[in-house]
């Protein structure tokens, strides 16, 4: 049988009820004992990296996870990461950016706790293990949830509690688990440029925008010494005039500013030429994140700013267009 490393970080899949609410309590070895049918088709090498809700994971935790995956990848056919659902898409995207390993990495978890009457963890776990050990899935990072396999870059959590919580928008899922096994809709592969950093040394803040937003948050971030700022803009990349002025000041102070859109679909593009239009922002030297959401653009900028200087930050954000793909 194929061998899969299962690295547990906590989350709802390992959580039970307590006096303070639902918290992670069950170790990965307890999950192996409780769900033997999920593991009957693979040899498992389980380990517990941390025991946290994903809302409390840090960048240091993500670095430690990527280090551990690099360490085990050479001796297994695939890696499964058990993870909380709040930030599973961010961890998956981070791993997709920084890992350069020859095995698939599949993240999964649960919306219902371990001690609920109908936990969804066992089915998600079985599907993730089947994916990580599948001959057709050789590399890349994915999220498996509710019988669907999603690529790390487009997947997002679009429901706070429903077991059918994840969606990949116009990209669609990579595959679906059927009674006959995985049914592939497209080739399983990474949709991300690889930035193989070993550590994250930069600081990046996200600044939202809305009607009549001012630029104080940007100015404050610059004063605090951040290396980069993600500005989550309106429409195609437009902002109120005061925000545009603060963006220009930030770029002049050598802070890298990346523009995203708060729209779920579509890209940022320098179309509008008004005072706060994206075409004017482009002239100041900002970078555009295509259709990458702000929380993932932050991770991309963090690793881009932390890389060795043999590749510029602009190269990383322009790589999708340079490679002729519809993604970055």
Q: Give the CA radius of gyration of the chain.
A: 20
Taking only the tens place, the pLDDT of each residue in 56-80 is 999 999 999 999 999 999 999 999 9
Distances in Å between the alpha carbon of 209 and those of 158, 246, 249, 326?
21, 12, 17, 26
Q: How far apart are CA 106 and CA 78, in angstroms?
A: 8
Residue with token string 């779920």: 264
Q: List, by residue number, the catalytic residues.
A: 12
pLDDT tens, the chain, 328 aa long: 999 999 999 999 999 999 899 999 999 999 999 999 999 899 999 999 999 999 999 999 999 999 999 999 999 999 999 999 999 999 999 999 999 999 999 999 999 999 999 999 999 999 999 999 999 999 999 999 999 999 999 999 999 999 999 999 999 999 999 999 999 999 999 999 899 899 999 999 999 999 999 999 999 999 999 999 999 999 999 999 999 999 999 999 999 999 999 999 999 999 999 999 999 999 999 999 999 999 999 999 999 999 866 557 888 887 544 344 444 5
Equal fold, 3-184 vs 204-322:
yes
Residue with token string 């994206």: 278
| Structural contact between residues 152 and 106, judged by C-beta atoms closer than 8 angstroms | no
Locate the domains of the chain by residue range.
Answer: 3-184, 204-322
Q: pTM for this structure? A: 0.95
Q: How far apart are CA 9 and CA 190, in angstroms?
A: 23
Give one DSSP letter per residue of 115-158, joined into a string. Answer: TSSS-SHHHHHHHHHHHHT-TT--S-EEEEETTEEEETTT-EE-
The fold for domain 204-322 equals Rossmann fold (3.40.50)
Distances in Å between the alpha carbon of 112 and those of 7, 11, 20, 291?
19, 10, 17, 31
Q: In what order do the strands lie in the sheet with 105-108?
A: 43-48, 3-8, 78-82, 105-108, 141-145, 148-151, 175-178, 181-184
Is CATH 3.30.70.20 correct for 3-184? no
Taking only the tens place, the pLDDT of each residue in 79-114 is 999 999 999 999 999 999 999 999 999 999 999 999
């Amino acid at each position: 049988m194929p061998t899969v490393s299962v690295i547990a970080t906590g989350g709802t899949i390992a959580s039970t009820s307590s006096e303070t609410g639902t918290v992670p309590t069950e170790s990965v070895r307890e999950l192996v004992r409780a769900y033997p049918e999920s593991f009957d088709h693979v040899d498992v090498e389980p380990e517990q990296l941390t025991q946290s809700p994903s809302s409390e994971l840090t960048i240091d935790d993500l670095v430690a996870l990527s280090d551990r995956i690099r360490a085990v990848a050479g001796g297994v056919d695939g890696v499964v990461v058990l993870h909380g659902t709040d930030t599973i898409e961010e961890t998956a995207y981070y791993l997709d950016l920084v890992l350069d390993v020859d095995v698939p990495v599949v993240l999964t978890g649960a919306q219902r706790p371990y001690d609920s009457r109908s936990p969804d963890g066992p089915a998600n776990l079985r599907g993730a293990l089947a994916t990580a050990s599948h001959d057709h899935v050789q590399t890349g990072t994915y999220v498996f949830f509710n019988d669907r396999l999603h690529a790390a870059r487009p997947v997002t959590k679009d429901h706070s509690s429903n077991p059918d919580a994840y969606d990949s928008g116009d990209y669609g899922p990579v595959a679906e688990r059927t009674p006959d096994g995985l049914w592939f809709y497209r080739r399983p592969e990474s949709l991300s440029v690889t930035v193989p950093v070993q550590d994250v040394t930069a600081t990046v803040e996200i600044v939202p925008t809305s009607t009549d937003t001012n630029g104080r948050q940007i100015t404050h971030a610059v004063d605090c010494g951040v290396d980069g700022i993600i500005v989550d803009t309106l429409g195609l990349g437009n902002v109120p005039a005061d925000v545009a002025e603060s963006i220009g000041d930030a770029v002049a102070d050598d802070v890298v500013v990346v523009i995203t859109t708060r729209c779920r679909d579509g890209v940022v593009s320098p179309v509008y030429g008004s005072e706060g239009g994206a075409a004017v922002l482009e002239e100041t030297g900002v970078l555009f994140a295509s259709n990458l959401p702000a929380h993932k653009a932050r991770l991309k900028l963090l690793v881009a700013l932390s890389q060795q200087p043999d590749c510029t930050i602009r190269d990383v954000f322009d790589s999708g267009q340079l490679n002729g793909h519809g993604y970055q």
